[in-house]
Structure 1
Amino acid sequence: MIVYHAHIWWNYGYKLTLHGDKPNRMYFSFLLVDLGPRATTNESLPRGALKTNTLNNQLSPKASNIYLRIGYRKDNEFISIVEAPLRPTTRMGGYYLDNAITYTHLNNLLSDNDVITFRVSLQVEREYFNIGKLGDIKSLAIIEERNVRTLESVLKGKKSSNSDFIFTRGDSSANDSTDYYVHKAPLAYTSITLRSIFDKKVSLPTDQILIESGEDRIIFPFLSESDMKFLLTYLYTERISLPEYNRFARVGRVISFLFDRDRLINIFTQWQRLIIESILEADDNQKVVIAMRSLIAIYSAPYGALPIAKRVAISTLADQIARQGDELTDKIKEDEEFKKYSIERILESALKLKRLITAVKKTSYD
């Protein structure tokens, strides 16, 4: 069972337990158990994971007016034959009803009906469903306007009198390369890896960053001009922007070697904020496209790097599928922009979430 609203969800499990030793004294208790933001628990992290793929500070919602209703459907109408409140229990952090239904009563219902329905209703304060507060989405830090003019000159490929190193993008043998005349001091300040390269000419165990031992040059063979703009902007000014959605993997591989863990987490945190803003601010007719682009980027990033952005993007896509019908997934598969990517896992996740959230009836008590 899932409680869902505004990109936030919480999973519950439920359990029927038979008590008693004689048929006329046997009854079922009902336990509603907190599972958490994910339905599965105790999963091991995949190799290369940055952190868990959940909101670390998400707690169980403080629910009230929790009721269990047991009944059956007749002519598309739910007929309730048992209705009782659930009480909080310290047992596994859930809600409990001791005598939900007797063994005899349940058997009689099953003999007369093919399906017996157990319905749980509860109230949760709207404030709980605040993705910004729950996810601690912080605004971009105000960065001192340092090295801005120098950066502009570097991005234009200009060589200044005090430039003392060269970054090369692409493959010069294929006539597809760009030289950037950079400055070691500001780059060494931002990246301890670059500082080591500048001082000791150390090589890195990757083909993403090639160190030329005979000259003051680093080659980034797989980065595009837009990738280099992101990288150089951060190195010079610490300002963070979003790479193109289909470049996250390339950029991610490079920055994972250049920056320490704290800087990486900060970069991903700000990418997350920018992704969420782009989705929430998108017009209705652009939500599918923005959500898909975001999910392609998110799925190519390290596991757990963008958990809140993933929630917002996947629930936005699931909502659009619920509105437009499952055939929307076929349209996405046939879209020229997306058909070249491996999107099956993305669409399967969105369909699964759609089935869960559309099964939850929500009523406002405002």
Structure 2
Amino acid sequence: MPAVTVPFTTREWITVQNSFKSNEKELKKATDILTMWRARTGTETYLIFQITEHLLTLDRLNMTTDRRNELQMKALINNYCTVIVRVINYINEICQTEAGTSSIAGAVGRMGIPNWIVDVRHSATHKLMPKLGMLQKAAAYLKEWIWDNYWSKSIQDAMRWAIPNAVIEGQKNKKLMEKKKSDGYGLITEYVRWRNEDPTYIPQNKKEWELEPLNKIAEFLKKEPDVINSLLASDILLLSEEKMMQYQFSMDLSSNIWDVPQAYQLYWSPLIILIHRNHLLLSLLKETIDFMLTESVTPHERRQLSGWTNLYLGVLLGGKPSAFTDANRAEWRPIVKLIISKIEFFKKETALQVIRESKIFDEQKIKKLEYIIGLKIGNNSVGKVQPVSGNVPSPGPSESSKNMSSSTISMSKFTDTNEGMEFSISDTDFTNVPLGLMPDQSCESLYLIIELHKDSVMAFSRVGETLAPAIPAITYHSHVWWFWTYELGLKDEDGEHQVGLKIEKNVEGTQKESRPKGVEEMLEKILKDERPPGADYVLTFGDSSKNDSKDVFIHRAAMASNSALLTEIIRNKFNPPGDQILVPSSEDRIIFPHLKSEDVEFFLTFFYTGKIILPHHGGFARVGRVFCMIAMKPQVLQLFDQWQKLIVENLLKTGNSEDIINESIKALIGIYSAPYGALPVAKRVAVSLLADQFSIHEAKKVNIMEKIRNNKEFGSYNLEKFLPCVFRTKSLIAAVKKRGIP
């Protein structure tokens, strides 16, 4: 059987299994767990779990029902009827899938269900309610049957029997769709990297349109035409408020339609043109409108989607031949109706042009619609949105539409509306870029001009000058960014001009130290595996089933003071989504199955002091995953800032050569396991120091690579992740003499 996703842990499943035939107290524990599974998976909860919950709840209801109360008795009988119908239908579904049997009695009979129970089900569905005694007898039989066929078996055998083929196919289709989405995101990522090299470039001929990544996207659009459109409509084109501020875009809150800045249109125009060329722009329009009108969309997102919708309409209306044909008129009909019903999200002239040219309505109806629309939104189109600063007007949507609809546009037709406002695309990809260079440079450019940004080309003109850019190098999760903290300088070294790299030692941190009295002593005692006075909770680091775990006694108040999630877990005993945190329902214990004993100090220090320290060099990824779950947003925002500060401080205070090598490698192991771009300054410092040591030892004709590879401390890590970067730095920066401008 293909792999399926289940909403429970082994311990939870065993608890339900052991409670299946128990008394009322144990039944409550089982139904609580089943309810929790249903909460985890929502509408995708497997029917076997719903039926089991219903059967066990019915047992509890039968114990507590007052036989003298007519309403309670009717509720009990109705519940018996419902559960019998559901169980028989469920067994029938499994049998029909496997054998193709036509009748219910014939299908379930193959699974050992007698005809009298099918008759009870038939009476409960179509005739008078059976007597309570008969219903109880049938329910007891079905409960025993479910025990024999499901709950008495191992998890693997039980799930193999319980899940119909339709469910398995559904999960396979879901995974296939996730794979397609992942491929789509990958292509969009390639597009962004390509676009960042020159955000104003538009392919001019067929040969240029066939270059990567445009050719890959074109092929993907032919195979999966809906995936890219779905990603654009629901995710890719939407900007958070933080991004809006960062890019110096503005939004008129009095309008329902965002006037999409020309520079942002220009950035995505090759992709939109490609979609239009493949006759998929109408599909993208419909996808965008549908998502714009969903309840989950925020007003901020809806304004953006409305802006893009009007742009797409402008492109379709301005194209030749006409966007309206007999073949696609059926596709336009629901779009036109949505435009009429939600006219506040569409520009008046655009909406009227669509209504006229689509020819869905006769002339008399069109005149009435024009009159109604005029009453609804007045005679004026949506006002222009002014830029944040300066007097540069935003371009009209019709001009933008013309620009985007043409596949052979000269670059002179596009104007940068952010000119003079220092706008820049900050999601720059520095993969495989030598230290100190931008992606569009080679190391030879150091001899002449150092380009920091396409709108800020500068060069050294005399000795003593420095360049220290203030453009964000990395944006991480749309709310954290760092500015480069190094600068390049031109200096005179014994009559020869050299370019030098200066790294600021004082990397700013935002962490405040505040330790109550006695906390350090308490923390020291716990780290020595002692149980402190008043400890009332246990944390397990590691997987106890593999004898690879460590128990730590802790105060629940310490956890609650720095984690809202752990506060709720302590109070309500629930398992959060994922497998990073497990919570036994019957113990005052929290299990971190993927953490290790060397991670104890990081989390205990955080719980007791609120302070962030460096984890073990091999634990950055696993520690970061758990920390981002349990910590609150301000603490998460501090995490990489503080790690970066501590790494740099540790590296810069390291003295002898051997320590520099070891600490740099440890730092790079941790940095490369963190999210890409999270620790840029620390990476550059570690790479520079290690490259410098390679150069020094190479000059002494000492091979340190063999010593590094034989170091047992690094044996379990893949050093090839970062060593090529170190060697490039050694070759291109550390070991090459730099010349000034002639």
* Interval containing the TM-score (normalised by the shorter chain): 0.5 to 0.7
Written as runs of structure 1 = structure 2, the 5 A alignment for 1:85-164 is 129-133=502-506, 136-138=507-509, 141-146=512-517, 147-159=519-531, 162-164=534-536
- Cα drift, residue 350 of structure 1: 0.6
Residue-by-residue CA offset, 1:22-41 (whole Å, 9 max, x unaligned)? xxxxxxxx97532499xxx9
Q: Are 1:218 and 2:595 matched, yes or no?
A: no
String of CA shifts for 1:188-221, please: whole Å, max 9, x gaps: 1111111121223232223222111222210122
Structure with higher strand content: 1
- The one-letter code sitting in structure 2 at the alignment partner of 1:361 is K
**Partner of residue 56, structure 1:** 483
Are residues 177 and 271 of structure 1, via their aligned partners in 2, closer, same or farther at CA, if it must alter by over 3 Å? same
> Are the aligned partners of 1:49 and 1:304 in contact in 2 as well (CA < 8 Å)?
no
**Aligned AA for 1:245?**
H
**Structure 1: runs of 5 or more not aligned:** 1-7, 16-29, 66-119
Structure 1 position 317, deviation (Å):
1.0
Q: Is residue 227–residue 247 contact of structure 1 (8 Å, CA) maintained in 2?
A: yes
Aligned match of 1:208:
580
Secondary structure in structure 2 of the residue aligned to 1:210: coil
The residue type equivalent to 1:129 in the other structure is K
Mapped contact 2:665–2:686 kept (Cα < 8 A): yes
Query: For residues 122 and 179 of structure 1, do their structure 2 counterparts lie closer, same or farther at Cα, with a shift above 3 Å needed?
Result: closer
Partner of 2:720: 344
**8 Å Cα contact 2:472-2:484 kept in structure 1:** no
TM-score, normalising length from structure 2?
A: 0.33
Distance in 2 of aligned mates of 1:142 and 1:298: 24
User: Among residues 279, 295, 307, which one is paired with 2:680 in the alignment?
Assistant: 307
Verify: 1:290 aligned to 2:663, yes or no. yes
What is the identity percentage for the equivalent residue pairs of Structure 1 and Structure 2?
Answer: 33
State the shift of 1:353 in Å: 1.2
Moved more, 327-336 or 203-212: 327-336
Task: Return the alpha-carbon distance in structure 1 between the equivalents of residues 503 and 725 of structure 2.
Answer: 22
Q: Match of 2:583, as an amino acid?
A: I
The answer to whether the Cα contact below 8 Å between 1:139 and 1:273 also exists between their aligned partners in 2 is no
Change (3 A) 1:32 1:174: closer
Which structure has more RCO (C-alpha within 8 Å, separation ≥ 6)?
Answer: 1
1:359 maps to what in 2?
A: 736
User: What displacement does 1:318 show?
Assistant: 1.1
Q: Give CA-to-partner distance per residue, 1:264-309, whole Å, 9 cap, x none.
A: 2323322222222222222123211111111001111222332211
Structure 1 residues 348 and 51, CA, compared in 2 at 3 Å: closer, same or farther? farther
Aligned to 1:195, the other structure's residue is in SS state helix
How far apart are 1:14 and its partner, in Å? 6.9
Within 5 A, what are the aligned runs for 1:187-202?
187-202=559-574
How far apart are the structure 2 equivalents of 1:221 and 1:351? Answer: 37
**Which amino acid is 1:33 matched to?**
E
Residue type of the partner of 2:557?
Answer: A
- In the alignment, the residues of structure 1 paired with residue 729 and residue 668 of structure 2 have an alpha-carbon distance, to the nearest angstrom, of 14
Q: What's the CA shift for 1:355?
A: 1.7
Instruction: State the Cα distance separating 1:253 from its structure 2 match.
Output: 2.1
Cα 1:62–1:43 shift into 2, 3 Å: closer
Task: Tell me: CA distance 1:63–1:207, structure 2 relative to 1, closer, same or farther (3 Å).
Answer: same
Separation in 1, partners of 2:509, 2:704: 33
Alignment partner of 2:605 out of 233, 240, 246? 233
For 2:696, the equivalent position in structure 1 comes to: 323
Within the candidate set 227, 243, 248, 2:615 is matched to 243
Match of 1:108 in 2: none
Deviates more, 1:226-235 or 1:147-156: 147-156
Distance 2:441 2:531 in 1: 67
Q: Are 1:11 and 2:437 an aligned pair?
A: yes
Q: Distance in 1 between matches of 2:490 and 2:738?
A: 16
The corresponding residue for 1:264 is 636
Structure 1: distance between partners of 2:450 and 2:648: 32
Query: Alignment partner for residue 34 of structure 1, among 438, 442, 452?
Result: 452
Structure 1 pair 275/49, CA: closer, same or farther in 2 (3 Å)?
farther
- 5+ unaligned residues in a row in structure 2: which ranges? 1-433, 443-447, 455-466
Partner of 1:109: none
- Secondary structure of 1:302's counterpart equals coil
- Which one has the largest radius of gyration? 2
Q: CA deviation at 1:43?
A: 10
Find the aligned partners of 2:593 and 2:441 in 1 and give their Cα distance. Answer: 54
What is the identity, as a one-letter code, of the residue corresponding to 1:304?
Answer: G
Instruction: Please give the secondary structure, in 2, of the residue aligned with 1:187.
Output: helix
Specify which structure has the higher proportion of helix.
Answer: 2
What displacement does 1:313 show? 0.4
Following superposition, the deviation at residue 142 of structure 1 comes to 2.9
**Match of 2:619, SS?**
helix
> What residue is the counterpart of 1:72 in the other structure?
none
The 1:330–1:49 alpha-carbon spacing in structure 2 relative to 1, beyond 3 Å, is farther
> Does the aligned pair in 2 maintain the 1:154–1:180 contact within 8 Å?
yes
Deviation at 1:255, TM superposition (A): 1.1
TM-aligned CA deviation for residue 44 of structure 1: 9.5
The 3 A distance-change label for structure 1 pair 169 and 32 is closer
Match of 1:185 in 2: 557
- 1:177 is paired with a residue whose SS is strand
Is this contact kept in 1: 2:657–2:693, CA < 8 A? Answer: no
Local SS of the residue matching 1:132: coil
Do the aligned partners of residues 10 and 31 (structure 1) sit closer, same or farther apart at CA in structure 2, a change above 3 Å counting?
closer
1:174 positional shift:
4.0
Matched, 1:332 2:705: no
Q: CA deviation at 1:235?
A: 0.5
Amino acid corresponding to residue 713 of structure 2 in structure 1: E
Distance 1:208 1:328, change over 3 A: same
Question: RMSD between aligned alpha carbons?
Answer: 4.0
Compared with structure 1, are the counterparts of its residues 44 and 32 closer, same or farther at alpha carbon in structure 2 (3 Å cutoff)?
Answer: closer
Which residue in the other structure is 1:274 paired with?
Answer: 646
Contact 1:51/1:303 (8 A) holds in 2: no
More displaced stretch, 233-242 vs 173-182: 173-182
